[in-house]
Amino acid sequence: MTLTAAEQPYRSGNLPYVETDAPVKVWLCPNDDLAPDLASVLAAHWLDEEEKETADRFLFERDRRQYLVAHTLVRRALALEAGLVEAELVIWRSPRGRPFLQPMSGGLPRGGAHLDFNLSHASGYNLLGIVRRHRIGVDVEPLDRDEQAIETIKTTFAPEEQEWIARAAPGRPRTRRVLRLWTLKEAYSKARGLGLGLPFDEFVFTLDDERGVTEFGPPADDPFTRWRFVELEPVPDVLVAVAVPADEHPPPVLQLHHGFPWGRQAPHHITLPGPVGPGAP
Ligand X SMILES: CC(C)(COP(=O)(O)OP(=O)(O)OC[C@H]1O[C@@H](n2cnc3c(N)ncnc32)[C@H](O)[C@@H]1OP(=O)(O)O)[C@@H](O)C(=O)NCCC(=O)NCCS
Interaction site with ligand X (CB under 6 A): 67, 70, 95-99, 118-122, 139, 186, 190, 193-197
* Minimum CB distance to ligand X, residue 156 (Å): 12
* Minimum CB distance to ligand X, residue 33 (Å): 17
Question: Side chain identity at 136, as an amino acid letter?
Answer: I
* Minimum CB distance to ligand X, residue 98 (Å): 3
Nearest to ligand X of 120, 175 (CB atom)? 120
Question: Side chain identity at 258, as an amino acid letter?
Answer: H
Report angle CA 101, 218, 132 to the nearest 5 degrees: 25
Nearest to ligand X of 22, 194 (CB atom)? 194
Report angle CA 224, 75, 62 to the nearest 5 degrees: 105
* Minimum CB distance to ligand X, residue 266 (Å): 27
Nearest to ligand X of 122, 280 (CB atom)? 122
Report angle CA 39, 44, 47 to the nearest 5 degrees: 90
Nearest to ligand X of 97, 278 (CB atom)? 97
Residues in the chain: 281
- Residues 45, 42: Cα–Cα separation, whole Å: 5
* Minimum CB distance to ligand X, residue 194 (Å): 6
* Minimum CB distance to ligand X, residue 278 (Å): 23
- Residues 132, 257: Cα–Cα separation, whole Å: 17
* Minimum CB distance to ligand X, residue 166 (Å): 24
Nearest to ligand X of 20, 123 (CB atom)? 123
Beta bridge partners of 101: 91
**Residue in the shown chain whose Cβ atom is closest to ligand X:** 195
Among residues 68, 65, 36, 76, the alpha carbon closest in space to that of 257 is found at 76
Q: In what order do the strands lie in the sheet with 238-245?
A: 137-142, 238-245, 227-235
Nearest to ligand X of 107, 124 (CB atom)? 124
* Minimum CB distance to ligand X, residue 169 (Å): 26
Query: What is the separation of C-alpha 14 from the centre of its chain, rounded to a whole number of angstroms?
Result: 23
Cα radius of gyration rounded to whole Å, the chain: 18
Collapsing DSSP to helix, strand or coil, 38 comes out as: helix
- Residues 184, 55: Cα–Cα separation, whole Å: 28
Nearest to ligand X of 98, 134 (CB atom)? 98
Phi, psi dihedral angles at 91 (to 5 degrees)? -115, 125
Nearest to ligand X of 2, 105 (CB atom)? 2
